[in-house]
Amino acid sequence: MRIIGHRGARGEAPENTLGGFQYIHDLGIRAVEFDVRQLKDNELIIMHDDNFLRTTGTDQALYDLNSHQLEAYNQAHIWMEWKNFEVTPTLQQSLKIMQDFEHIEVEVKAVATMAEAEKLVLELQKQLHGFEQTAVITSFDLKIHQALKQQYSIFKRGLLVEDDIKHKAIEQAIELGCCQIGWMNQLATDEMIQATQQAHLQISVWTVNNVERAKHLQSLGIDGLITDFPKMMLEQL
């Protein structure tokens, strides 16, 4: 079972930042999950929310900005002991740290229209050139998956599941050409994990921060454990 840092290592370092990605790299972990959005100037950036309030303390809508206006916002704002100012990183900046990573889960956040989905995934595939063996593009948004399928993407894809739709999720993943399901931890029952494995789909489970739960999932043979505390899991598993 692979330990995958959630948004870098959001329980141990500022989430979705270059500092956070370097942190897990320095731990020796070579698997990461992070979130991608596209700004109005088409730049792909790494950020979970569409507003800066939670992570920087400033109430500012992300999509009102272009990539040149990100430098004012410190993504390490709530980390009192973190020494560095962490600017919202671009995908290209982040990938430089991940050159030797073995597994990269690129979660594409939901978009409003099919046209936005098509534009985003076209740029995403360009920027992920060279990561074809390690990257898995994941999303809850079916428009993202449909756009990738229409473009005959060579990248592996994973369906993220947070609604309790049980076996329908497996059917959807297969229909969309996915090789993986990312189950929310609360939905990852022994039965659904077994059913997913029987469908020959890989499994990541998110977000797992309890060591005993992690050990149980490990015993079931899941492929990836997405955790906020990768250092702790590395030491305990």
Q: In Å, what is the CA distance from 97 to each residue of 15, 22, 101?
A: 15, 7, 8
Question: DSSP string of 51-64?
Answer: BSHHHHS---BGGG
Count of residues in the chain:
237
**In the chain, % of residues over pLDDT 90:** 100
Over range 85-114, report the average pLDDT: 98
Tokens for 232? 């702790």
Q: Which CATH architecture has domain 2-36+102-236?
A: Alpha-Beta Barrel (3.20)
Residue type for position 155: F
CA distance 13 to 4: 14
SS3 category, 135:
strand
- The residue assigned the tokens 């939670």 is 54
| Domain extent listing, the chain | 2-36+102-236
Tokens for 50? 């569409």
List, for residues 205-222, the tens digit of each pLDDT value: 999 999 999 999 999 999
Tokens for 173? 């993943």
The pTM for the full model equals 0.96
List, for residues 117-175, the tens digit of each pLDDT value: 999 999 999 999 999 999 999 999 999 999 999 998 999 999 999 999 999 999 999 99
CA distance 12 to 229: 6
